[in-house]
């Protein structure tokens, strides 16, 4: 890298994401928080010729970085956005203002805001599979934390899939869109905040009954509140 950080970082790329991650040993509790998206910042308006090194050179002036997830296209150029997390907790408003000022001082008009850390996907219009079959198909594609199933009509279900963090949800979203045919010709996969049907049906994103994901005898009928989770 073309900067001299106070401690080392490792760099690796998975598909369209370039990861720059600290090599520091951190408190496991803090790592768990960060892995779930705590204190994540969203960087936008990144010029295509700006590199992860350019971002890091500015970012580490404010403290050790936990990870930078820098989005790139097939040619390796920036796709215009990235996600950034610091090791230490900092006052979010002050951090955003200071970081934007530092970027502009380096002639980078990068916008910084708090990440929404979206972790939930919604699967809809699956008509020929039972909830148990959907559960098994999802396990073949990616690991998820929880699958919540809403029965909005007899034997008609909406599936809300929760992942550990935004990064895992984004990768799952990409994979599921490519494999949507597993769930039927009409199946659709989207981010939960775009899932207008949940709001239209007045269904809350919560659940009363927990079913084991390892069970071979999952019940395909919902309880009195019309929802269960796997």
Torsion on CA atoms 124, 128, 130, 132, rounded to nearest 10: -90
pTM listed for this prediction: 0.74
Which one of 84, 114, 144 terminates a domain?
114
Does pLDDT of 221 surpass 50? no
Asked if residues 49 and 89 have their Cβ atoms less than 8 Å apart, the reply is no
- The predicted structure's pLDDT at residue 207: 54
Mark whether 146 and 211 lie in a shared domain. yes
Asked if residues 102 and 61 have their Cβ atoms less than 8 Å apart, the reply is yes
Mark whether 124 and 222 lie in a shared domain. yes
In angstroms, the CA 123 to CA 175 distance is 13
Does pLDDT of 9 surpass 90? yes
Answer yes or no: is 205 within a domain: yes
Mark whether 153 and 77 lie in a shared domain. no
Lowest mean pLDDT among 5-9, 131-135, 146-150, 156-160: 5-9
Mark whether 89 and 151 lie in a shared domain. no
Output Rg (C-alpha) for the chain, integer angstroms.
20
In angstroms, the CA 78 to CA 110 distance is 12
Mark whether 149 and 191 lie in a shared domain. yes
Considering its fold, how many domains does the chain have in total?
Answer: 2
- The predicted structure's pLDDT at residue 213: 53
When the pLDDT of each residue in the chain is averaged and rounded to a whole number, the result is 85
β-bridge pairing 188-191 and 120-124: antiparallel
Does pLDDT of 192 surpass 70? yes
């Amino acid at each position: 890298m073309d900067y001299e950080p106070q401690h080392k970082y490792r760099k690796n790329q998975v598909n369209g994401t370039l990861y720059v991650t600290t090599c520091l040993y951190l408190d496991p509790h803090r790592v768990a928080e960060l892995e779930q998206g705590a204190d994540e910042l969203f960087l936008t308006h990144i010029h295509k010729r700006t590199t992860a090194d350019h971002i890091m050179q500015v970012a580490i002036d404010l403290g050790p970085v936990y990870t930078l997830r820098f989005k790139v296209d097939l040619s390796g150029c920036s796709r215009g956005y990235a996600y950034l997390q610091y090791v230490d907790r900092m006052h979010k408003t002050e951090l955003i203002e200071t970081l934007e000022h530092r970027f502009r001082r380096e002639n980078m008009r990068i916008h910084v805001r708090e990440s929404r850390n979206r972790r939930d996907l919604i699967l809809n219009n699956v008509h020929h599979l039972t909830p148990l079959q959907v559960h098994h198909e999802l396990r073949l594609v990616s690991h998820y934390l929880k699958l919540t199933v809403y029965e909005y009509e007899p034997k008609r279900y909406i599936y809300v899939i929760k992942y550990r963090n935004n990064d895992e949800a984004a990768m799952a979203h990409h994979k599921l869109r490519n494999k949507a045919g597993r769930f039927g010709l009409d199946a659709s996969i989207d981010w939960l905040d775009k899932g207008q049907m949940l709001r239209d049906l007045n269904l809350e994103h919560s659940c009363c009954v927990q079913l084991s994901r390892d069970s071979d005898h999952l019940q395909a009928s919902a309880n009195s509140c019309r929802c269960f989770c796997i």
